[in-house]
Amino acid sequence: MIKFIIKFTLTAFLILILTAQKAEAVWKVPFDVKIGNPQNSIERNEYYQTQLIATKTVNNLISAYENKNFARFMNFVSEDFTLDKSILGSSIRQDYLKYSYIRINCFINNVVKSSDGKIAVSLNYTRTIEDRIAGKMTSDSGNTELILIKEDNVYKLFSTRKPYLFGITGI
């Protein structure tokens, strides 16, 4: 385990050092590397910002869905949701009727922003649900993609691909 961590860390730092050396060769100018520069902190990097926004939005959606807070969940769904917001809403209510307990653990793999501002989030999830009628608790896992769009200055769910993370009973 430790071997894996060390290998991965070393590989990443090697890439960084090689990139820096390449940069020095290209510029041929007095060269400086500054670590921990507050003016250029990671918070200002666009990729990082996009990942933070995506993580926050996905967490909000999952938290509201798990807590069966229908109104809050629907607040994080865009009016332009591609498979229809009203139809998704009915499906969410059917989920709440069928399942007495819902928990989702997710790991965000990949976040990509399009030129028109949409954000695609690819994630791995593990979902534990208790079927109230069958009286059975099951756990499943998979990979899916959510598309987010900015609406009223907040990122919301715009589209989702199968397998559906929300609206399990069918959109």
| Binding residues among 107-146 for another protein as defined by CB under 8 A | 107, 109-116, 118, 120, 122, 124, 126-128, 130, 132-139, 141, 143, 145
What are the tokens at 158? 């715009």
- Residues 73-102 binding another protein (CB under 8 A) are 79, 82-84, 86-87, 89-90, 93, 96-97, 100-101
Q: Evaluate the CA torsion angle 76, 82, 87, 90 in order and state its sign.
A: negative
Nearest distance, CB of residue 57 and another protein, angstroms:
16
Binds another protein (CB under 8 A): choice among 10, 59, 67, 163: 67
Does residue 52 belong to the site contacting another protein (CB under 8 A)? no
Q: In the 8-state DSSP scheme, what is residue 66?
A: H
Q: Which of 10, 56, 59, 103 binds another protein (CB under 8 A)?
A: 103
CB of 90 to another protein, least distance (A): 5
**Site for another protein, residues 4 to 23, rule: CB under 8 A:** 4-5, 7-9, 12-13, 15-16, 19-20, 23
What's the CA gap between 85 and 70, in Å, rounded? 12
Per CB under 8 A, the list member of 18, 31, 59, 163 interacting with another protein is 31
Helix (H) or strand (E) holding 149: strand 136-151
Q: Which two tokens stand for residue 31?
A: 């060269």
One-letter amino acid at 20 equals: A
| Dihedrals phi, psi of 115, to nearest 5 degrees | -65, -25
155: helix, coil or strand? strand
